[in-house]
Chains A and B, each alone.
Chain A
């Protein structure tokens, strides 16, 4: 079969990112979904509720009264041995803040799609990464998706990574609010039976519903034990970095896609490199193609896995560049922007370091234009760095 024939045989369906995620949840058929609607995540919950209403899944759906309760119920369900999922963004994620740390601290393999949206104030319903970036230190694995296809497949990756015996941590699957969550794209849905086989059954080591072996979960730990417990959690993050590639390889055999820590696009021999995540990578690829066509040595590093952060691999991928710009959708007020900060950390051990530039763009859903990316590449090619934060698309 030729490549083209293979492509034609694929079941491509027009789906929004949200519907693609809901399709993944349908195929997983989790035991419990506890969720609260919030724009632009709502369509995930609404679509899944239709699956429940029509008996397409036999999930116990808990329509909680807040995101705090959504995560609380997921924690209760997960510790009872169930596969538990929810979805949220922005203010909803912020309301969960406390429980995010509990979910990871109690080692609950919960999977949560996040349709990235700006945090208030001013209130804004559109995309930026201030929500999930604000939650980057809560012990959750974070995977970012460029497209609806990636968001769909990342849900499976997240599930098996979360439940990996060496990991046992919750995972967020981020997609860009509206840009990905609401844009209809061609998505290849993999076969139901194949995906069902891939996800298998959850086999928890302990469960609250195991009456013969009663467990106490969520005990108080003071100066004598707390530190060791948290260190184990940090160790699990280290395991997640390794397991990510292993689970990715397994999933790859099913989907045919690849799940590296990051995608390298024109990185080979690139002098000027842009590092970015999520949908901005699509815009950047278009610009890379055009500039490469014009003979300019530019490339893109599209990061998929933000937590745990693949420092070594990012360093190795960037060390030969002359100038690297980090293009991201959030601030860390009063400090280097989050992604820039990590890229900068990665390069500390590199003997010969590229010059670095931080760019912040697209807060509150402002479009990133190809001309913005092109301008950034031109600055990077000229080796123009300012030592501070620069902006693209800011009036």
Chain B
């Protein structure tokens, strides 16, 4: 899909409408609209508890003009499993006609952490659905507590930077490869900065026969401390520094989606964010150095998996 076509669809698409109460500059509504724009088939949506759910369905209002369900935090994948099972049963019994696509949206807390078991179960069982993780790298709905997606060195409210601690002391979990280990047809990593790539991936995910997962970096101006106008640019720095590479694993085959013309230092991505502010104080240079080394190592590993030369 070309960006103009995407813009056209998004501007006319009533399935997820404005009027929701996501923060100014939040990347998640952009991600949701782009994902929905990537299929013309009818969709039923499930959301995990989180920013998207809380801000888009404050009773008696809803931003959703498609069937939408939220049941709890850790179970978007098992909830949509039940919806998909009902669809299969009712279709088999002749009570339902036509094709429906199923998509679940969860934040990183509801996916990497508390929802990982439900997701793993749904992937193993092979339900035909798409799971989109909008990853803003912490529990942003509740004020920025650390998750297993929070980057090393970031300050989170439950693992803050202090006099003796540099913020989060563990590397973030690799959700893409965890999902790929379930041997599902399609897994991809995408970013709000590259919307054409995101919609291509979402389209492939919808067309895959079986479960598909797309993990999307979702800038959080409110708790990353970035300007709302810098949402796309911040995510672009994550991609161009290879902190957040864009790639897919289709039928087990790794493919790099984008290679930065010039790989920028990861500090460029981190510099304007309040959650990394402490790392730019004197004495913390080694932490940034550590992050840079690890990002470089991961990038080399990924290139090799994708059959690309360094």
User: Which chain A residues have a beta carbon within 8 Å of chain B's beta carbons?
Assistant: 31-32, 34, 58-60, 62-66, 68-70, 72-82, 84, 98-99, 102, 106, 208-211, 214-222, 225
CA distance A59 to B60 in the complex (A): 35
Instruction: Give which listed residue, B59, B89, B96, B125, contacts A32 with CB less than 8 A.
Output: B89
Which residues of chain A are within 8 angstroms of B121 by Cβ–Cβ distance?
64-66, 69
- Shortest Cβ distance from B87 into A: residue: A209
Which residues in B have their C-beta under 8 angstroms from that of A106? 71
Instruction: List residues of chain A with CB within 8 A of the CB of B65.
Output: 214
**Residues 50 to 103 of chain B near chain A (Cβ within 8 Å):** 53-54, 57-60, 62, 64-72, 74-75, 77-90, 92-93, 96, 98, 100
Q: Check B96 against A209 for contact (C-beta < 8 Å).
A: yes
Contact among A62, A68, A220 for B85, CB-based, below 8 A: A62
Minimum Cβ distance to chain A for residue B56 (Å): 9
Partner of A81, one of B66, B90, B98: B90
The 6 closest A-B pairs by CB, nearest first: A76-B82, A65-B121, A73-B82, A69-B78, A80-B86, A218-B70
Complex-state Cα separation, A41 to B171, whole angstroms: 41
CB-defined contacts of B82 to chain A, threshold 8 Å: 32, 34, 62, 72-78, 80, 84
Question: Which residues of chain B are near A102, meaning CB under 8 Å?
Answer: 71-72
In the complex, are the beta carbons of A64 and B81 less than 8 A apart? yes
CA distance A76 to B100 in the complex (A): 15
Q: Whole-angstrom distance between the alpha carbons of A84 and B118 in the complex?
A: 18
Given A64-B81, A98-B72: A211 and B89 interface contact (C-beta under 8 Å): no
**Smallest beta-carbon distance A261→chain B, Å:** 32
With both beta carbons as reference points, the residue of chain B lying nearest to A214 in the complex is identified as B67
Subset of 24 A-B contacts with CB under 8 Å: A32-B86, A60-B92, A65-B121, A68-B74, A69-B117, A72-B75, A73-B81, A73-B85, A76-B69, A76-B78, A76-B83, A77-B83, A80-B82, A81-B86, A81-B90, A98-B72, A99-B72, A209-B67, A209-B86, A211-B42, A214-B65, A216-B68, A219-B57, A219-B70
A80 to B102, CA, bound (A): 12
Residues of B within 8 A of A211 (CB): 42, 66-67, 98, 100
Contact A62 B59 (CB under 8 A): no
- Complex formed: what's the CA distance from A74 to B71 in Å? 11
Given A31-B93, A65-B120, A220-B59, also A72-B79 (CB < 8 A): yes
Given known pairs A72-B75, A218-B71, the reply for A82 and B89 (CB within 8 Å) is: yes
Q: How far is the CB of A200 from chain B (nearest CB, A)?
A: 13
Cβ A58 vs Cβ B93 within 8 A: yes
A69 B89 Cβ-Cβ under 8 A? no
Q: Whole-angstrom distance from the CB of B217 to the nearest CB of chain A?
A: 25
Q: How far is the CB of A359 from chain B (nearest CB, A)?
A: 38
- Beyond A75-B79, A77-B83, A214-B65, 20 additional pairs, beta carbon < 8 A: A31-B93, A32-B89, A34-B82, A60-B86, A60-B88, A60-B89, A64-B78, A64-B81, A65-B117, A69-B122, A76-B78, A77-B89, A78-B82, A102-B71, A208-B68, A211-B98, A214-B68, A217-B69, A218-B53, A219-B58
Contact B117 A66 (CB under 8 A): yes
A59:B89 contact, CB within 8 angstroms: yes
Interface residue tally of chain B, by bracket?
Answer: 35 or more
Q: Could you tell me if A208 and B67 are in contact, using CB atoms closer than 8 angstroms? A: yes
Nearest residue in B to A70 (C-beta to C-beta)? B78
- Report B-chain residues with C-beta under 8 Å of the C-beta of A221: 59
Known: A211-B42, A218-B69. A68 touches B75 (CB 8 A): yes
Chain A neighbourhood of B84, CB < 8 A: 76
In the complex, what residues of A have CB within 8 A of residue B54's CB? 220
B246 is an interface residue with CB less than 8 A from chain A:
no
Residues of chain A within 8 A (CB-CB) of B53 are 218, 220
Kindly list chain B residues whose C-beta atoms are within 8 Å of the C-beta of A208.
Answer: 44, 67-69, 83, 86
Are B86 and A31 in touch, CB under 8 angstroms? yes
A68 to B120, CA, bound (A): 13
In the complex the two chains form, what is the Cα distance from A220 to B58 in whole Å?
Answer: 5
Closest to B58 in A: A220
In the complex, what's the smallest C-beta–C-beta distance from B92 to chain A, in angstroms? 6
Cα distance A102–B72 when bound, in Å? 8
**Interface flags, B119-130, vs A, CB<8A=1, else 0:** 011101100000
The answer for the CA separation of A99 and B67 in the assembled complex, in Å, is: 20
B270 cross-chain contacts in A, Cβ below 8 A: none
| CB of A162, distance to nearest CB on chain B (Å) | 16
Residues of A near B90 (CB, < 8 A) are 31, 80-82, 209
Chain B residues with CB under 8 Å of A79's CB are 69, 83
Q: How far is the CA of A210 from the CA of B96 in the complex (A)?
A: 9
Q: Decide yes or no whether B46 CB sits under 8 A from chain A.
A: yes
Q: Please, which residues of chain B bring their CB within 8 A of the CB of A34? A: 78, 81-82, 85
* A69 contacts across to B, CB distance below 8 A: 75, 77-78, 81, 117-118, 121-122
Closest to A32 in B: B85
A219 to B57, CA, bound (A): 5
Contact, CB under 8 Å: B125 / A63 = yes
- B:177-229 near A, CB below 8 Å: none
Residues of A within 8 A of B122 (CB): 69
Q: Which chain A positions have C-beta within 8 A of B74? A: 68
Q: In the bound complex, do residue B89 and residue A62 qualify as a contact, i.e. CB atoms below 8 Å apart?
A: no
Question: Would you call A76 and B86 a contact (CB within 8 A)?
Answer: yes
* Chain A residues, Cβ within 8 Å of B96: 209
